[in-house]
Amino acid sequence: MSNQDDETGNVARLSLTSMSTALAASVRGIDHVAIAVPDLEASIAWYTNGLGFALCERRTTTGASTSMVSAVLSAGEAVVVLVQGIEAASQVSRFVDHFGPGVQHVAFRVDDLDVTLKQVERAGGSADTPIMAEPGIRQVFLTREQGSAMRIELIERKGGTFSDQSVEKLFRAFESADLY
């Protein structure tokens, strides 16, 4: 046993709990939820016509060997990013094949990405991508959590937004690491 804890391991549990609490304190909200879909047009129609979301932008992203199409929709403060792989080998298509259509990742907004990532690492987590930085925005994807199969993205925004280049960098990072 470490950290001078008693036979029951109480100090070690308290230490992990305090790290987890510190991480939760870094989260400022949900930046967006990305949903992998097999038919982007049908999903856009549902979110806009059925649920009243506004279509904000569309994008085609090309990696080294695969690509995807996406759409950003919003309603109030809620932001949904719909993603569809173009080729069967696309990371998005592989996600849908493995997990089915649904939430591909949840992006949490944080004030300081470096501090938050250190908290994640101290708690035993890790990043699957390098930190991607563009003017006013920094982001990183964490390793998929095995218990829920959820992938978390951490985003620090200082007035920036996604660009075609930033989305392509993330897409290529996933592609090169063979992640989905």
**Is the Cα torsion angle 34, 88, 58, 154 positive or negative in sign?**
positive
**Is the Cα torsion angle 131, 32, 44, 136 positive or negative in sign?**
negative
Q: Within a domain: residue 5?
A: no
Q: How many CA atoms lie within 13 A of 49 on its CB side?
A: 6
Q: Within a domain: residue 17?
A: no
Q: What is the pLDDT along the chain (180 residues), one digit of tens a residue?
A: 444 444 444 444 444 455 455 568 889 999 999 999 999 999 999 999 999 999 999 999 999 999 999 999 999 999 999 999 999 999 999 999 999 999 999 999 999 999 999 999 988 889 999 999 999 999 999 999 888 888 999 999 999 888 888 899 989 999 999 998
- Structure confidence at residue 123 (pLDDT): 85
Q: Within a domain: residue 102?
A: yes
Q: Which domain holds residue 141?
A: 29-176
The total number of structural domains in the chain stands at 1
User: Whole-angstrom Cα distance, residue 40 to residue 173?
Assistant: 23
